[in-house]
Amino acid sequence: MPPFFFRPDEKIDTEAYYKVLRYTVLPLLIKNYPTGNYVWQQDGAPSHMAAKNQKFCKDNMAHFWPKNFWPPSSPDLNTLDFFLTDRTPHLNLDSLKATIIKEWDNYPEKHIINACKRFRPRLEAVVKANGGHIE
């Protein structure tokens, strides 16, 4: 799924996030994964945990982890965050957006697949550390 950007002045509340799920995310998932070979995972943002959006995801996503199934807010358990951060400083928002889009479009799919494959071992390491940080 390509990056999605909210407007800088936009409040990301339940309704704004619902519109992204309904009109951007779901059509892309259906188009790119018609057999439902994906898991939709979110974090603990209020708009993600809102009952309306939890219900939408449960009713429409092929495989959805509801809020009571999510791993704790931890960079160790965020599949992409742990290796896609702090790469290049930017002077303004447009520069940052352009770089995100360019890098995402050129990022080798095999690296994303490998990051997803490493999720279970990372999860097991966090469990072994009694929920503690592993890196």
Same domain, 80 and 57: no
Same domain, 1 and 63: yes
Residues 6+ away with beta carbon under 8 Å from 55:
none
Same domain, 13 and 34: yes
Same domain, 1 and 66: yes
Q: Per-residue pLDDT for the chain (135 aa), expressed as one digit of tens each? A: 788 999 999 999 999 999 999 999 999 999 999 999 888 888 888 999 999 999 999 999 999 988 887 766 666 666 655 555 556 678 899 988 998 888 888 888 898 788 778 878 888 888 888 877 776
Closest CA to 22 of 74, 64, 57: 57
Closest CA to 52 of 5, 10, 13, 7: 13
Among 28, 50, 70, identify where a domain stops: 70
Inter-CA distances, 2 with 25, 44, 66, 127, Å: 10, 21, 23, 31
What's this model's pTM, rounded to 2 decimal places?
A: 0.72
Where in the sequence is the domain holding 121, given as residue range(s)? 73-135
Taking the C-alpha atoms of residue 118 and residue 56, their distance in angstroms, rounded to an integer, is: 28
Domain count, the chain: 2
Paired strand residues for 40:
64
Same domain, 14 and 66: yes
